[in-house]
Structure 1
């Protein structure tokens, strides 16, 4: 991992389950940053990240979801165990940032194979309906564009097209333009 050795990584992962809320948040942020630099280095440590989805503070959970999203791009099999935690986070009433991070994770996971897209699509679809037009919706559309560019099944691709078609034809602003771009990719 760029700039960190395995010993330091082990220390960070241990602190991720420590008693200090503030330190868990700092460590989760550092791990998310490291995952963006070298997601493969965290593949062997996915279980510790998944466990951290149970922490009470939102920042720890969204940072861990960001790290898991990066890992999903290089090894979706490794993060399959995060699916339930991501589902719970997708409907977090207290944090839009946690919801968005879960949505991005699920889209990246779904983009990795037809089978995973079929597994994740019902949750993704429900979230699109629930959060359409919310402040984080622009970033959700960007994640959907990534799903459209990925290895989704024909059924998921058709369902995604159906979901964004109205906005592509009748929407306005960024919602219309992203929806049109998603349809073009499909």
Structure 2
């Protein structure tokens, strides 16, 4: 058991807290189960002076009772850069159903139908920023840079949305014209789904 585990358990119970690592501790006593637990929950890996490998949990994550029912478990994952510790993910699930996270729209590289316009927008925005930075004081450069990033993202989103609407509208008009032409001919007719059926 880890040092102070009983005191920690009492504190968590008193304040209605939930320790992800403690509740994931293996119930069976075995080397394999403990290794799996260490791999899943331990965040710090080290080598002792004798050369023996060891691991421990540097951080504990607690949640209050209000979201306790959302917690399904915790998982450790490798850090993005070379490090002596790992990151911890706390897995949350809504008891009412699936939590849907809206996927961020991909802005760059731009799709083919808006690529030229997008490149022009970026070049013009960078040129405008360059002119503005020459006039800015040292204190306002960071603010100008932040505003530039936010505004450029918004402008790129608007440009992409408008181009997509134009492209979609063009295809819709073309489909309507083809339907009208087929309807006029005496060799075939369209069903409710727009498919042509021979008479």
Taking structure 1 as the reference length, the TM-score comes to: 0.18
TM (normalized to structure 2)?
0.17
Q: Which has the higher strand share?
A: 2
Hey, which of these two has a bigger chunk of helix by percent? 1
Q: Which has the higher contact order (CA 8 A, sep 6+)?
A: 1
